[in-house]
Amino acid sequence: MVEENDHSSMEVINPATGEETESYEEDDWAEIDTALDRAVDTFEDWRQRSVREREQFLVDLADVIRDEKHHYAELMTREMGKPISQAIAEIEKCAWLCDHYASHAGTYLQEEQHPSPPGTSVKTVHDPLGPVLAVMPWNFPFWQALRFSVPYITAGNVGLLKHASNVPGCALAIEELYEKAGYPEGVFQTLVVGSDPVDDILADERIRAATLTGSGPAGRAVASKAGEQLKKTVLELGGSDPFVVLEDADLDAAVETGTRARNQNGGQSCIAAKRFIVVDDVYDEYIDRFTEEFEALTIGDPMDEETDVGPQARRDLMEGLHEQVIASVDAGATAITGGEPLDREGAYYPPTILADVPENCPASDEELFGPVAAVFRVADESAAIEMANDTQFGLGASVWTEDRDRGERVAREIDAGCVYVNQLVKSDPRVPFGGVKESGYGRELSGIGIKEFVNRKTVWVE
């Protein structure tokens, strides 16, 4: 447990320059304890508010987000290196999320009537659970935190965020967002803490549920500790998403979208396309054009709107990625382009394509969390499906064919939480999002997501 008055600090390193830009004092246990008490007290009032009233808060939250989107985008770029144009798009997506639930939360949470004997009334109501702890990653620092908090808070819960240690400024800015939108104090709180106190926070009786987006080991740790306390969890973990290109695909679109699906956010996304599975008939043309697109991307200062690929979020992460590339090449893979860190300040790794990737190497078996595409040649559709499913992960998948019926049939045969035909994998407020296998469980977003942390209470009136 974090000892009272034992303050340490989080240093923010700008990944584009390697320079320290800010330092934030971490919360000690006394401050965590106060935040937990505040969450419980606030919940007792917040849960009594009508859904319509909570929807109106979302309208105000969306306004605050839009009014200050450039400020928040620049903060994100300084802390984790996302190209500024993509950072602005992330902030705008957060506002859209608020718009969606402002319009549809009441419908999603409507009482459900059931058949019952004459003269009785039987229904299901959706009561909130209480304070929800969220352990969130740095790669989409605003979207991930809003994606959990907007639906859960609108359902009547209150949220506590333990964000990644390299984005404390973003974490505190999100708390500020809720304050500026007029939410009661304690509806959303940021805990500026590292990983050490998480187990104790999870075990605390004031926390009623938890959600995590992050690595498999982190997910297992949270699920294990929460399970000991019989607390509900939702986990969105890693992915090694297949991007399947069949012989009748629109290659223009498959090359353009595939390049974006692998390289946006510096390739640092659970749902980025990672394993490109291309049938033999179009493999040579695809990889030639794919390489041209990769090499045409602009690598540079993430504050420049012309930049396509900025730095990796941390130097140690870039070094780990490079180790995976080296191990894959040593095992027999061929680096068609890229494959070496750039000789410049900052944690820059170039868009990289690995071909001839053998079995049992990092590029085939592990998640490569950076701008590295592993390309595989397969004989036909059947082999493509088999390879797509030959992974411990099951988050998303993308299938490319001009035959929509064929695309849907193939999509049904791929083991993943979501499969997009002729589109990149994305999280969208209107549809459920989540994975299977080692990619986690539970769903976020849409009507299903807002009900993950409610008590589906049966009320029978005789």
Residue 383's Cβ-count burial label (10 Å; 0-12, 13-18, 19+) is middle
Q: Concatenated DSSP letters for 130-185?
A: SEEEEE--SSSTTHHHHHHHHHHHHTT-EEEEE--TT-HHHHHHHHHHHHHTTPPT
> Does residue 215 sit in helix, strand or coil?
coil
- Among residues 236, 248, 226, 171, the alpha carbon closest in space to that of 410 is found at 248
Q: Concatenated DSSP letters for 346-411?
A: S-----EEEESPPSSSHHHHS---SSEEEEEEESSHHHHHHHHH-SS--SEEEEE-S-HHHHHHHH
| CA 96 – CA 401 distance, rounded (Å) | 30
| CA 10 – CA 15 distance, rounded (Å) | 15
211 contact partners, CB below 8 Å, separation of at least 6:
132, 133, 134, 135, 148, 152, 233, 234, 235, 236, 442, 444, 452, 453
DSSP code, position 27: P
CB 370, CB 349: distance < 8 Å: yes
Both structure tokens of 457:
């209470």
Is 270 catalytic? The answer is yes
- Among residues 416, 282, 422, 259, the alpha carbon closest in space to that of 353 is found at 259
Helices (H) and strands (E) in the chain, counts: 15, 18
94, 98, 170, 270: the catalytic one is 270
CB 432, CB 444: distance < 8 Å: yes
| CA 397 – CA 244 distance, rounded (Å) | 8
26, 236, 438, 444: the catalytic one is 236
- Rounded to the nearest 5 percent, the helix, strand and coil shares of the chain are 45, 20, 35
User: Catalytic amino acids?
Assistant: 236, 270
